[in-house]
Amino acid sequence: MRVVVVPCFSDNYSYLIHQEGRREAVVVDPAEAGPVLAALAEHGLELTAVLDTHHHWDHVGGNEELCDRFGHLPVYGHASDAGRIPRLSEQLSHDDTFQVAGLSFRALHVPGHTSGALAYVTGDAVFSGDTLFVAGCGRLFEGTPAQMYESLNGRLGALPEATRVFCGHEYTENNLRFALSVEPDNQDVRAMAARVAALRARGEPSVPSLIGDEKRINPFLRCESAVIRHRFADAPSPVEVLARLRALKDDFQ
Ligand code: ZN
Ligand code: FE
């Protein structure tokens, strides 16, 4: 399986996924059609399905143009996003599996950023949308801290440590600065910051990270670490720690 990172707008990532040696490809979160079409042409790929992680415009903005251009494209998303994801045709629930372009996918329902947020798992990769970012998580627009906690630590955190994480935005440098502000002595965060600074200086994306990396650097997966618990000593639970972290991050520049 090969993943082509397709930068869209200022900091969105769409992804083309295809089986090595096959022309059929799926796109995850076509933010806009133009860059997706250009990447398909560049790599000699044929689009066979659209996978949407959630209904926000900067993840589904290319759906209609791609569907019009390719005719009958199945569009996957969470069932509760019917009416919010343009051209949604395949309505998914938690743990549903499906096959497309010779690839097997499993959908994880990961509410928090939105109520219908999905992550897609295939092979050793997860496409996490705006739920899990490298070193961060999405804002709580439609979900509760408890939902986001379970989505990050339960569902995504249960994936094998070697799972590659492909997320919806290039927010990593800011996320790492925030992570250092809450855990200044976390050497894994420092090492990742150096690695990402080098990548970004070359204009390369910071994705993918690994689930195992995230458990060591991402404060939203570290609500039970000693340093973070101590920092929010009056928080009665790990969920409340996540709520406090998210509120701090909302105002972090
Ligand atoms: Zn979003
Ligand atoms: Fe987004």
Check if 250 is active-site.
Answer: no
pLDDT at position 72: 84
d(CA 127, CA 28) in angstroms, rounded, equals 8
What residues pair up with 163 in beta bridges, in sequence order?
Answer: none
Let me know the angle formed at the C-alpha of 60 by 56 and 65, rounded to the nearest 5 degrees.
150
Closest CA to 182 of 139, 140, 230: 230
pLDDT at position 253: 84
Tens digits of per-residue pLDDT, 159-182?
999 999 999 999 999 999 999 999
Check if 169 is active-site.
Answer: yes
118 has pLDDT over 90 = yes
pLDDT at position 222: 98
State the average pLDDT over residues 77-102: 98
Tens digits of per-residue pLDDT, 227-242?
999 999 999 999 999 9
What's the gap in Å between 236 CA and the centre of ligand 2? 31
Number of domains in the chain: 1
Over the chain, what is the mean pLDDT? 98
CATH of the domain at 209: 3.60.15.10
Tens digits of per-residue pLDDT, 192-201?
999 999 999 9
Which DSSP symbol is given to 130?
T
State the average pLDDT over residues 82-100: 98
Check if 54 is active-site.
Answer: yes
d(CA 105, CA 96) in angstroms, rounded, equals 8
d(CA 47, CA 24) in angstroms, rounded, equals 6
Q: Which domain holds residue 182?
A: 2-250
Band (31; pLDDT cuts 50, 70, 90): very high
Report the relative pairing of strands 118-122 and 209-210 from DSSP bridges. Answer: unpaired
What's the gap in Å between 41 CA and the centre of ligand 1? 27
Q: What percent of the chain has pLDDT over 70?
A: 100
What's the gap in Å between 129 CA and the centre of ligand 2? 7
10 Å Cβ neighbour count for 124?
14
d(CA 114, CA 199) in angstroms, rounded, equals 30
